[in-house]
Amino acid sequence: MKRSMSMRTLQLLVIAAALVFAILGGIILISGFTAEADVNFAIGELSMKAGETEKIPLEYDPENGRRPELTFRSSNNGVVKVTQDGIVNAVRAGECEISCSTPNGQEVTIPVVVKAKKIKKTIFLTFEDGPSKEATPAVLDVLKKYDAKATFFVVGYQVEATPDILKRTVLEGHTIGIHTYSNDYNEIYKSEEAYLADFDRAEKVIRDLTGIECAYWRFPGGGNNDIMGPDTMKSVMNKLHRRGYTEIDWNSYTDDAVGVEMTTEEMVKKGIATIDIHEVPIVLIHDANTNSQAAEITEGILKHYSEKGYKFKGLNDYTGPELTIGE
């Protein structure tokens, strides 16, 4: 009996040892398949020019395992876009980071600096708060007369009220940017969630009507408004940058919405005075239904600078840095 029990114990021990060795072997085999080589960028910074495409240079240390699957992400798709093959497309001047991560949790980042060619004798007219029946068609007529392109930061509910005007604007080759859906500061600036909900609604209205994907937006009141706190604004901008948007305010203006009565001539002079002090003027004009002088102001500026050999383009042709006057 004792001998029988001892044989059985020996058999159990042999089976248990075999199981242990099988498990350990499986663990070693699995770890051999899942262990990752260390991944690093081969350079400390990626420097590019707007319009260039480049493959991200990476280094692998195979000592710890095999080359892992990589996931790439740009912190600002308005500056650079990156494919999952590691191909970087530089969109416009600016700085951001590209991160590279692996299934086992490795993550490395590289700073990216993009520069752009100098823009010469070009003016970027930007209109906001439209489209409106009272102002926008006349503005479009003047732009067409001078073979000029511009950018329209539109209001969603105004687009819904005048869809044919936005369609005409797109058809005539102008750039469309997102301003807001409601233009109700008290509502959209209540919180980050409220702002983004309003933004998304405006984005959908434009996309559904025209099929275009906007690349630019402008905060109502500009990036220096006193309503949205700096932390909230930074968070909103980071989110929209990852979605590929660039915020563009203005550096030149006509004072057409300051609440002070001015003649068309005075507003044109104001526009010229502020345009002349900037190498790359981005001009603010309003095409809301309250600004019946919008077309006349536009023509005054177009006439003055056309005679000086300037070109007028939409922001789709702009490769300079983001312009946020609140920064």
Enter the tokens of residue 64: 């710890």
pLDDT at 31: 41
pLDDT at 200: 98
pLDDT tier at 25, thresholds 50, 70, 90: very low
Lowest mean pLDDT, pick from 23-32, 56-65, 98-107, 148-157: 23-32
| CA atoms of 231 and 240, how far apart (whole Å) | 14
pLDDT at 2: 47
Give buried/exposed letters for 40-69 (b at 16+ CB in 10 A, else e): ebeeeebebebeeebebebebeeeebeebe
> Over pLDDT 70: what percentage of the chain?
89
Does 113 score more than 90 pLDDT? yes
Does 52 score more than 70 pLDDT? yes
pLDDT tier at 146, thresholds 50, 70, 90: very high
pLDDT at 15: 60
The per-residue pLDDT for range 177-201, each reduced to its tens digit, is 999 999 999 999 999 999 999 999 9
pLDDT at 17: 54
> Over pLDDT 90: what percentage of the chain?
83
Does 326 score more than 80 pLDDT? no
The per-residue pLDDT for range 263-279, each reduced to its tens digit, is 999 999 999 999 999 99
Nearest in space to 92 (alpha carbons), one of 115, 109, 108:
115
Does 290 score more than 60 pLDDT? yes
| CA atoms of 94 and 86, how far apart (whole Å) | 19
Q: How far is CA 283 from CA 125, 199, 233, 253, in A?
A: 5, 23, 23, 5
pLDDT tier at 26, thresholds 50, 70, 90: very low
pLDDT at 282: 98
pLDDT at 63: 78
Q: Which domains does the chain have, with CATH numbers?
A: 38-115 (2.60.40.1080), 122-317 (3.20.20.370)
pLDDT at 297: 97
pLDDT at 280: 97
pLDDT tier at 7, thresholds 50, 70, 90: low
Does 16 score more than 80 pLDDT? no
Does 87 score more than 60 pLDDT? yes
Enter the tokens of residue 25: 């072997």
- Predicted model pTM: 0.88
Does 249 score more than 90 pLDDT? yes
Does 227 score more than 80 pLDDT? yes
Does 13 score more than 80 pLDDT? no
pLDDT at 76: 98
pLDDT at 180: 98
pLDDT at 284: 98
Helix (H, G, I), strand (E, B) or coil at 275: helix
- Parallel, antiparallel, or unpaired for β 246-247 and 252-253? unpaired
pLDDT tier at 226, thresholds 50, 70, 90: confident
